Structure 1
Amino acid sequence: MRLRLLPAILSGCLLSAACGGGAGASGAEPNRSGGEVKLQGAGASFPAPLYNKWFKAYSASHQNVVVDYQSVGSGSGVKNVIDHTVDFGASDAAMKPEDMARVPEGVQLFPMTAGSIVLAYNLQGVEGLKLSRKAYSGVFLGKVTRWKDPLIAGANPGAKLPDLPINVVVRADSSGTSFVFSQHLSAISDEFGKSVGANTMPNWPVGTKSKGNEGVTASLMTTPGSIGYIEYGYAKTQKVPMAALENKSGKYVEASTATGQAALASVALPDDMIAWAKDPEPADAYPIVTYTWLICYKKYATQDKLEAMQDLVRFGLTEGQKDAESLGYIPLPEGVVTKATMAIPKLAGQ
């Protein structure tokens, strides 16, 4: 599909496309001077709403750039980069060193935005739900199975919790959101770490499956008694209630820009620009926060495509950050923007 603007549900791809494809990417047509620059990509659904807005603005002033992206999940995005079937990828799980080694021309990762993973729920008449670390890790271990379980009721005195089984909704696809969430659960629960562990496709002991952040959100909205993990922006946009979670300091914290920034401030960004806040320590930090990355090849077949991708990444890191908070994402810290911008020249032509 060759579109200047894709529907919102495919939007995550749009920014990814900014990274453009490697020299051997299939479907990537050599650019003819003065003609269209076609960028094809696939990857994370987590940042899709923000990426969509960025690309509307960018395409309006760059009529020669055509972006085609599929919001297929982080795992598929990484695989497509390795297989050279795209010009770019996008992932919330970054990229493993062993996977990077499978790309001969090399890859460059750019943190483009950050966001919180929330536990959204569908309980009529229940607002301000609080979940302790033992409660929500127990839910996803399949050991806390009813809404009136003492681990939930104890943190919510006065709440009219229904006498219903908990319907857990998890991702069906290979997902960076799943990786970040299961990585956090592994950090706070030894049992979870040993029995399930961090993975883009965890072997969940409980749960019905839906594809993408979009699919999990839809399942939550239509099934009473449900709980699931999604990116904050999806819950905010669809007005799905979100639980306040107990953090490492024992405080119950809601997801917000400020609590997300507190979590990000607890970790330094290394030279490879991959950093994780698995269980942030600050008392004001929301406990599940992550960067999300574009995966670009280090070499591109044409100068026009290279320059378009460099410019699009630069746009996302600068002007694009102004749109992050309104859509439920966390603007990048200034130091991260500087570091990522300095890496743009690492993208080169043949």
Structure 2
Amino acid sequence: MRTSRPLRTLAAAAAAVLALSACGSDYPLGEEQREAAENSTSTLSGIISGSGSTAQGPAMDAWIGGFRVLHPKVQVQYSPDGSGAGRNALLAGAVNFAGSDAYLQDEELGEARETCGPDGALDIPAYISPIAVAFNLPGIDSLNMDAATIAKLFRGEIEFWNDPVIAAQNPGVELPQTRITAVSRADDSGTTENFTEYLHEAAPEEWPNDPSGSWPGGLGGENAQGSAGVISTVTRTEGAVAYSDDSVVDDSLGTVNLKVGEEYVPISAEAASIAVEQATRVQGRGEHDIALHLDRTTTAPGAYPLVLISYQIFCSSYEDADTAELVKTFGQYVVSEEGQQASAEAAKSAPIPDSLAVQARAAIESITVRP
């Protein structure tokens, strides 16, 4: 039975509240953070809450820790429930902001006007990271693949790692006759939406499904909850492969180099940043809504187009002046040079380009208090 949107929204809101009630640590970064906090002169105080992207989890930990040093009397709580759950929680008024690996869709923009006032909500790019196609093949650190091959692999049309289609792109690599187990996300995920958008645009014949945050039914394989869940499944399953934010992929797994133009590009923050520089703003949005369209078929040298731009989604206005001030101050820290550096160190993310950072700061500054 399909659950209605209002019921799903209320369920997400309840889950976010329960999860957030268990969050928080006075000084998660330890003694150095405690000393810095005690010497802070900031008078800002209060609590704000957010929910959403699991991909943003490591970066969010770093942002919360760094912000707490600057403003020790402020608590920022974040529950990594998945992008869809985070957007639902914001639209239900259960949290003050959402983290999402996909910008708000048209239907959600309409709902945001009910929760956030007549100007709705703002999509603010805050976290840029490549999506890894990670696999468990002992002794193999990387493989070359084009988008069509990746699509066939996740559709179950390529069943063994020594398939001729893979072998042709990897001369000299001794590929085992190991069965492929494709692992996908079980939850509504912005990472899934970005991954399926890449496949649909870069290999439309092999991946006819429209982009979606929900994995297509009937494809087989396994699924798991959250970015950490799919990587955990791959780590314990020889022959498994999954897509995930690169921040949770360690050196125990191999990763795929994407074919871009005539070259194969390894995954890196720098290559992701090159791809983002080709992005354009989505048309028909408000002045300060910075939803971006990525060119998944770019041939720019060194670009890695399987990338996610993860957003902080804020209301354009808040009923409470103190909440508005807290949200704006935290948002400005996230997109600042200091905040982006903290994210890069904690989560292997790429700092947002300077021109985008300027737009993001202006958008956050535009947040107002509703009369």
Name the counterpart of 1:246. 259
Alignment of 1:324 onto 2:343: yes
Q: CA deviation at 1:188?
A: 1.8
Give unmatched runs, 5+ long, in structure 1: 9-33
Name the counterpart of 1:292. 310
1:289 maps to a residue whose letter is V
Distance 1:64 1:301, change over 3 A: farther
Deviations 1:211-232 (A, max 9, x none): 1111011111111101000111
Normalising by the residue count of structure 1, what TM-score does the alignment of the two structures yield? 0.87
Name the counterpart of 2:80. 71
Q: CA deviation at 1:189?
A: 2.0
For residues 27 and 170 of structure 2, the distance between their equivalents in structure 1, rounded to whole angstroms, comes to 40
Contact 2:184/2:230, CA 8 A, preserved across alignment: yes
Deviations 1:274-326 (A, max 9, x none): 11223322132112012110111122232222111101111111121112333
Is the partner of 1:243 in helix, strand or coil?
A: strand
Distance 1:134 1:60, change over 3 A: same
Name the counterpart of 2:137. 123
Is the partner of 2:293 in helix, strand or coil?
A: coil
Name the counterpart of 2:242. 228
For residues 7 and 148 of structure 1, the distance between their equivalents in structure 2, rounded to whole angstroms, comes to 49
Aligned pairs for 1:23-172 (under 5 A) are: 36-103=45-112, 104=114, 105=117, 106-172=120-186
Is the partner of 2:255 in helix, strand or coil?
A: coil
Aligned mate of 1:179, from 156, 180, 193: 193
Is the partner of 1:100 in helix, strand or coil?
A: helix
Distance 1:321 1:335, change over 3 A: same
For residues 336 and 133 of structure 1, the distance between their equivalents in structure 2, rounded to whole angstroms, comes to 28
Normalising by the residue count of structure 2, what TM-score does the alignment of the two structures yield? 0.82
2:211 maps to a residue whose letter is A
Contact 1:3/1:66, CA 8 A, preserved across alignment: no
Deviations 1:94-140 (A, max 9, x none): 11022111122111111112110010010011122112222111111
For residues 262 and 163 of structure 1, the distance between their equivalents in structure 2, rounded to whole angstroms, comes to 36
Point out the more displaced range, 297-306 or 110-119.
Answer: 297-306
Is the partner of 2:98 in helix, strand or coil?
A: strand
Contact 1:2/1:68, CA 8 A, preserved across alignment: no
1:275 maps to a residue whose letter is L
Aligned pairs for 1:205-224 (under 5 A) are: 205-224=219-238
Distance 1:283 1:174, change over 3 A: same
Distance 1:7 1:146, change over 3 A: farther
Point out the more displaced range, 47-56 or 154-163.
Answer: 154-163
Aligned pairs for 1:13-24 (under 5 A) are: none
User: What percentage of aligned pairs have identical amino acids?
Assistant: 24
Q: CA deviation at 1:35?
A: 8.7
Q: CA deviation at 1:192?
A: 4.4
For residues 177 and 5 of structure 1, the distance between their equivalents in structure 2, rounded to whole angstroms, comes to 28
Contact 1:125/1:160, CA 8 A, preserved across alignment: no
Contact 1:41/1:68, CA 8 A, preserved across alignment: yes
Name the counterpart of 2:277. 265
Contact 2:128/2:273, CA 8 A, preserved across alignment: no
Point out the more displaced range, 109-118 or 64-73.
Answer: 64-73
Contact 1:5/1:67, CA 8 A, preserved across alignment: no
Q: CA deviation at 1:2?
A: 5.9
Contact 1:132/1:151, CA 8 A, preserved across alignment: no
Q: CA deviation at 1:166?
A: 0.3
Alignment of 1:201 onto 2:221: no
Deviations 1:235-274 (A, max 9, x none): 14x6432111112x13111111221121111123455311
For residues 152 and 281 of structure 2, the distance between their equivalents in structure 1, rounded to whole angstroms, comes to 31
For residues 82 and 308 of structure 1, the distance between their equivalents in structure 2, rounded to whole angstroms, comes to 19
Is the partner of 2:122 in helix, strand or coil?
A: strand
Give the number of equivalent residue pairs.
322
Point out the more displaced range, 200-209 or 270-279.
Answer: 270-279
Q: CA deviation at 1:80?
A: 1.2
Give unmatched runs, 5+ long, in structure 2: 1-20, 29-42
For residues 92 and 62 of structure 2, the distance between their equivalents in structure 1, rounded to whole angstroms, comes to 28
Aligned mate of 1:276, from 287, 293, 300: 293
